[in-house]
Amino acid sequence: MGLGQAFNFGTDLATALGIVAVIQAGNVIEETWSIGGPYYPSSILGLLGGNPRDFYNLAYNDNYNISATRDHGAWNRAQSVSNNPYFFSPPFAGFVASVAHPFVVNMFSNHSAEQPNGYLDRATLKSFFGVSGPDSALVWNKGQERIPNNWYRRPSSNPYTLASGVLDTLANLRAYPDSFRVGGNTGTVNSFAGVDLGNLTGGYAVEYAGCNFGHCG
């Protein structure tokens, strides 16, 4: 499989996400799905959503980590709630976004003996998204997205599996519980109304996430 060979992306996670995509936004009979049309990014790093430059500026000492993707995802959602009167977060959207947002760091980081857990700097990020130029004048070059030279994927002994995605999702739930709320604005900005995941599970979901990360009461 391409994702497995290029990024050591687990077959179990790819299968699970594919099934969810087909069920939620696809054709179950043909086992296909579509986002509804071609992709026309309005700015660099369009896959990250929101304002991609805000993510680009989250590098710490020229390194992006999982915390940066969590912060950026939460910021995107807050911006939508405060600026889009018709913002809506349907079932599974929060879950899938929480799994997918960290893909940038988990898939694109460069691995070496010195950095066995991976290191994602601005130069590597720009190469994957076909971006060139200095920080003050970034340019997206259509069709020039590429794996950088001297780049090494996740070790074969450490694929990004379904379990990895679940752990990242639980960590995100603990840090930003609102990311998993189903509902939307009611015609005006900052009017979000919906179902709280904690209420649905009697608080078990949030408690479970906390216990798994050493925060049990």
pTM of the model: 0.72
Whole-number pLDDT of residue 34: 60
Please state, in angstroms and rounded to a whole number, the distance separating the CA atoms of residues 123 and 144: 14
Residue whose tokens read 């857990």: 117
In the chain the domains, ranked by start, together with CATH numbers, are 2-212 (1.10.489.10)
Please tell me which residue, 160 or 57, carries the higher pLDDT value.
Answer: 160
For the record, the structure tokens of 102 come out as: 């960290």
Closest listed residue to residue 145, CA positions, set 161, 133, 164, 131: 131
Phi (first) and psi of residue 109, to 5 degrees: -65, 145
Measured over the CA atoms of residue 110, residue 152, residue 140 and residue 13, the dihedral's sign is negative
The answer to which of 36-45, 121-130, 198-207 has the lowest mean pLDDT is 36-45
Inter-residue long-range contacts of 197-202, CB under 8 Å, 24+ positions, other chains counted: 197/173
Instruction: Look at residue 204 and tell me whether its pLDDT is greater than 70.
Output: no
Quote the pLDDT of residue 99: 72
pLDDT, one tens digit per residue, over 78-124 is 999 999 999 988 877 666 777 778 899 999 999 998 998 899 999 99
Q: Side chain identity at 130, as an amino acid letter? A: G
